[in-house]
C-alpha cells in the first residue's frame, strides 16, 4: 500500500488531525460521495481525532520526561538523577554552636545525653534544637563546662521495619518529607533481639565486601527518601526477620537560621541523679546557620550532571565549586582559585574558596570551618582548602523617579515601593555574583519599566567598601575599589584612635592640591598630590588634616599608613566611600557587586 501523504505527521493539533483525516477519506474511491461535515461522520472523525491527539500528547509527555533537560515531574527528574549516582539534597537542619556551664559541686560527672533538647529563637519564632551525641563532663572549679557544643534544629523521629527476604523488592521508605538525611542513624537487631548491629552510611561501592555493615540513601517518589541495604556481595544483607530502626531529625529548614538565644528544655539534673533541675548558663558561640530547604527540580536538573562530572572528588576549581553549591543551599555562587594566584605572596598547596550568599552576608567562622572540613575529605593529598570572604563592593543608589499621576491611581509611596522592589529584583538577577558588571543603562531601564506611569529617573551611584579591622592593634589598611574613582569623593566613617575621633578623606581645603577645570561643559577635578588625609573631627566645627596614605584614582586603590584603631564606632568595620567616574561599575578577581538594599534613597516626583 502506498504511503498516505495526506495525513500530516508534523502538525499534531486536533484541528489539523481532523482535516487530514477528512482529506484522506475524501480521496478514497469508496467514500468520495460522503458528506464529512454531516453529523454522524463528523462525530466519528472527532472521536478519531481526539484519540490520536490524546495519544500524541501522552507520548510527547512520556518522551519529554525521559530526559533531564525536558522532564517536568519531580519523580522523573529524580529517576534520571539516580542513573547519574546523584541523590537530591534533603532539607537541612540549622546548626548552632553554644557553650554550656552547669554550676554543681555534688556530682563527680555530668552527662548531656544525645537528643537533649533546646529552644532557639529568632525573628521567625521558636524552634527545637537537639544534640547529636552524648557528652560526659568532669568538674573544674565546681562547675561543669561544655565548650563549642553543636546543636541541630529539628525533632527526632523513628521508623521501624521488619526485614522479609521472601518479599521481592521490599522497600524501606522513610515516612517524613522534611527529613535531614545527614541525621539518619540505622540500627539492625537480629536473632530475636540478641544481636544489635549499627549500620553506617555509604555513598559508593568502593572498599565494600559482603560483611560491610552499610546502607545507602536514595530519593524516591513524593519527595521522600528510602534506605537501601547491600546485596550480600557489596554490603551486608540483614537476616530474615531482623528489626530495622531508622532515627532522624525532622527539620524546619532555613526559617530556623539566625537563632540568637537558647534555653535548655530537658531536666538534666534529674537525668544525672540530682534532686532538681540544673539550669545552665548558655553563651552562643555561633548563631544558627546552614538550614536549607530540599532541592527543587531546577536545582536537581542543574547539579546532577555536574555532580556526575565531579564524582565526589575535588581536583579542579569547578569540582570545588560544584561540591560547595550542592551541599550548602544558602550559598548562591562561589569563586575558586589556586594559592599560586593569590594576591601578594603565592601560597602553594592551598585552594581558596570565596562563597557568596544570597543575602550578601559573610559566612561565620563556624560555617567556614564546616565547609573546609567537608572539602578536606574530597581533596588530593597535600591540598588544603581555605574559605575566605568575597570582596563585596556595595553600591549606594540615590534615585529620583518621575511619574505621571494622571496615568495611575498609585500614590508616591506606592511608586516608591514598586521602584524598591524593582531594584531588589535587579540586584538578585543581575548582580550578587562573581564576574558581574553593573550596567547603568540597564538599571535605569529596569526602574522605568517597573510601572507604566514612570516616565524617567535620575540615579546617582556611590561605591562603598567595608574593611573590618582588629581593634587596639596596629593595622595597615588597603582599600580596593578596582574602578576609576572621582578625585575629592573619597571618605570614610568615623573611628577613634588615641582618644581622638577621625575619618579619612582625599580632600583637604587647606592644601592647594586640587585643580578644577572645565572641558566641553564637564567639570573635572584632579588631585595633583594623590594624598589621603586623616581628618580630626574630635571638636565639632574644627577639623585638622595630616597625611595618612596615598590614592590611585585610576585603579581605585587606597593605601593607608599604619594606625591603631581603638574603636571602629560602626560595628561592621570602617566604611569607605567614593564616586565612580563612570556610571558602569565592573568587578574583577574576588569582587562581588551588590546593591546596598538597606540604604536605598528613593525620591518620587510627579511630572
The string of DSSP codes covering 104-126 is -SS-S-EEE-TT-EEEEEETTEE
Q: Please calculate the CA angle 458-463-469 and round it to the nearest 5 degrees.
A: 155
- Taking Cα atoms as reference points, which of 477, 470, 460 lies closest to residue 548? 477
Return the higher-pLDDT residue of 266 and 106: 266
Residues 552-582 pLDDT 10s: 999 999 999 999 888 777 667 899 999 999 9
pLDDT at residue 200 above 70?
yes
Cα(206)–Cα(438) distance, rounded to whole angstroms? 47
CB 84 within 8 Å of CB 304? yes
How does residue 326 score in pLDDT terms, banded at 50, 70 and 90? confident
Angstrom distance (rounded) from CA 358 to CA 361: 8
What does DSSP say about strands 391-403 and 591-595: parallel, antiparallel, or unpaired?
Answer: parallel
Please determine, for residue 484, whether its predicted confidence score (pLDDT) is greater than 60: yes
Q: 10 Å Cβ neighbour count for 153? A: 29
Task: Give the span between the Cα atoms of 272 and 251, in whole angstroms.
Answer: 28
Burial annotation 291-320 (CB, 10 A radius, 16+ → b, else e): bbbbbeeebbbbbbbbbeebeeebeebebb
pLDDT band of residue 432 (cuts 50, 70, 90) is confident
pLDDT at 452 over 80: yes
Are 122 and 259 contacting, i.e. CB atoms less than 8 angstroms apart? yes
CB of 607 within 8 A of CB of 402?
Answer: yes
Q: Look at residue 7 and tell me whether its pLDDT is greater than 70.
A: no
Lowest mean pLDDT among 141-155, 333-347, 395-409, 437-451: 333-347
CB of 399 closer than 8 Å to CB of 448? no
In this structure, the dihedral spanned by the alpha carbons of residues 35, 38, 43 and 49, taken in order and rounded to 10 degrees, is 50
Residues 111-136 as b or e (16 or more Cβ within 10 Å = b): bbeeebebebebeeeebbbbbbeeee
Q: Which of 58-62, 210-214, 270-274, 355-359 has the highest mean pLDDT?
A: 210-214
For 93, phi then psi, to 5°, come to -75, 140
Calculate mean pLDDT across residues 437-458. 92
| pLDDT average, residue stretch 76-86 | 86
Residues 62, 64, 68, 74, Cα dihedral to 10°? -60
Is the per-residue pLDDT at 122 higher than 50? yes
Q: Is residue 156 pLDDT above 80, yes or no? A: yes
Q: Is this structure's pTM higher than 0.75?
A: no
212 vs 199, 205, 209, 507, 553, CA distance in Å? Answer: 9, 10, 5, 72, 64
3-class DSSP state of 598: helix
Q: For residues 329 and 362, is the Cβ–Cβ distance under 8 A?
A: no
Mean pLDDT value across the chain:
87
pLDDT-derived band of residue 343, with 50, 70 and 90 as boundaries?
Answer: low
| Tens of pLDDT, residues 173-197 | 999 999 999 999 999 999 988 999 9
Quote the distance between the C-alpha of residue 455 and its chain's center: 36
> What is the structure's pLDDT at 1?
42
Residue 210 has pLDDT above 50, yes or no: yes
pLDDT at residue 56, as a whole number: 80
Q: How far is CA 195 from CA 188, 189, 192, 232, 244, in A?
A: 8, 6, 8, 18, 12
pLDDT per position as a tens digit, 313-325: 888 888 898 888 8
Amino acid at each position: 500500500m502506498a504511503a498516505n501523504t495526506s495525513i500530516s505527521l508534523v502538525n499534531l493539533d486536533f484541528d489539523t488531525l481532523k482535516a487530514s483525516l477528512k482529506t484522506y477519506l475524501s480521496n478514497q474511491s469508496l467514500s468520495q460521495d460522503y458528506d464529512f461535515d454531516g453529523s454522524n461522520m463528523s462525530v466519528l472523525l472527532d472521536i478519531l481525532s481526539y484519540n490520536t491527539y490524546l495519544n500524541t500528547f501522552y507520548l510527547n509527555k512520556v518522551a519529554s520526561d525521559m530526559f533531564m533537560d525536558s522532564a517536568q515531574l519531580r519523580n522523573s527528574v529524580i529517576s534520571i538523577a539516580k542513573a547519574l549516582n546523584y541523590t537530591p539534597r534533603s532539607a537541612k537542619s540549622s546548626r548552632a554552636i553554644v557553650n554550656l556551664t552547669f554550676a554543681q559541686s555534688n556530682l563527680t560527672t555530668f552527662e548531656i545525653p544525645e537528643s537533649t533538647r533546646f529552644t532557639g529563637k529568632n525573628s521567625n519564632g521558636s524552634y527545637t534544637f537537639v544534640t547529636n551525641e552524648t557528652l560526659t563532663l568532669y568538674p573544674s572549679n565546681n562547675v561543669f563546662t561544655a565548650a563549642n557544643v553543636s546543636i541541630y534544629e529539628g525533632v527526632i523521629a523513628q521508623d521501624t521495619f521488619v526485614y522479609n527476604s521472601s518479599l521481592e523488592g521490599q522497600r524501606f521508605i522513610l515516612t517524613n518529607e522534611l527529613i535531614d538525611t545527614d541525621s539518619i542513624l540505622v540500627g539492625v537487631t537480629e536473632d530475636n533481639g540478641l544481636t544489635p548491629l549499627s549500620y553506617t552510611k555509604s555513598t559508593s561501592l568502593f572498599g565494600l565486601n559482603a560483611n560491610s555493615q552499610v546502607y545507602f540513601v536514595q530519593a524516591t517518589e513524593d519527595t521522600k527518601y528510602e534506605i537501601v541495604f547491600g546485596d550480600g556481595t557489596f554490603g551486608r544483607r540483614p537476616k530474615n526477620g531482623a528489626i530495622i530502626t531508622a532515627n532522624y531529625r525532622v527539620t524546619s529548614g532555613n526559617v530556623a537560621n539566625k537563632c540568637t538565644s537558647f534555653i535548655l528544655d530537658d531536666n538534666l539534673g534529674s537525668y544525672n541523679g540530682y534532686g532538681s533541675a540544673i539550669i545552665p548558663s548558655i553563651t552562643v558561640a555561633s548563631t544558627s546557620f546552614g538550614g536549607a530547604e530540599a532541592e527543587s527540580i531546577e536545582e536537581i536538573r542543574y547539579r546532577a550532571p555536574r555532580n556526575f562530572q565531579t564524582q565526589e572528588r575535588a581536583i579542579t576549581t569547578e569540582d570545588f565549586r560544584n561540591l560547595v553549591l550542592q551541599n550548602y543551599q544558602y550559598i548562591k555562587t562561589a569563586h575558586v582559585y589556586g594559592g599560586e594566584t593569590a594576591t601578594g605572596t603565592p601560597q602553594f598547596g592551598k585552594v581558596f574558596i570565596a562563597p557568596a550568599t544570597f543575602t550578601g552576608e559573610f559566612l561565620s567562622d563556624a560555617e567556614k570551618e564546616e565547609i573546609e572540613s567537608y572539602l578536606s575529605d574530597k581533596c588530593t593529598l597535600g591540598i588544603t582548602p581555605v574559605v575566605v570572604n568575597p570582596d563585596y563592593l556595595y553600591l549606594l543608589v540615590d534615585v529620583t523617579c518621575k511619574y505621571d499621576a494622571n496615568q495611575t491611581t498609585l500614590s508616591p509611596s506606592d511608586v516608591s515601593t514598586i521602584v524598591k522592589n524593582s531594584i531588589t529584583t535587579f540586584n538578585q538577577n543581575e548582580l550578587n555574583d562573581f564576574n558581574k558588571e553593573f550596567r547603568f543603562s540597564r538599571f535605569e531601564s529596569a526602574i522605568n519599566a517597573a510601572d507604566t506611569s514612570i516616565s524617567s529617573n535620575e540615579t546617582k551611584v556611590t561605591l562603598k567598601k567595608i574593611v573590618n579591622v582588629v581593634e587596639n592593634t596596629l593595622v595597615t589598611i588597603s582599600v580596593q575599589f578596582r574602578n576609576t574613582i572621582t578625585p575629592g569623593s573619597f571618605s570614610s566613617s568615623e573611628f577613634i584612635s588615641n582618644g581622638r575621633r577621625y575619618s579619612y578623606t582625599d580632600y583637604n581645603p587647606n592644601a592647594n592640591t586640587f585643580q578644577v577645570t572645565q572641558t566641553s561643559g564637564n567639570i573635572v577635578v584632579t588631585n595633583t598630590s594623590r594624598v589621603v588625609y586623616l581628618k580630626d573631627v574630635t571638636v565639632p566645627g574644627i577639623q585638622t588634616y595630616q597625611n595618612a596614605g596615598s590614592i590611585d584614582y585610576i585603579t581605585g586603590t587606597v593605601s593607608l599608613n599604619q594606625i591603631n584603631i581603638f574603636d571602629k564606632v560602626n560595628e561592621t568595620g570602617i566604611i569607605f566611600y567614593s564616586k565612580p567616574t563612570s556610571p558602569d561599575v565592573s568587578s574583577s578577581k574576588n569582587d562581588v557587586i551588590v546593591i546596598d538594599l538597606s540604604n536605598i534613597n528613593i525620591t518620587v516626583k510627579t511630572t
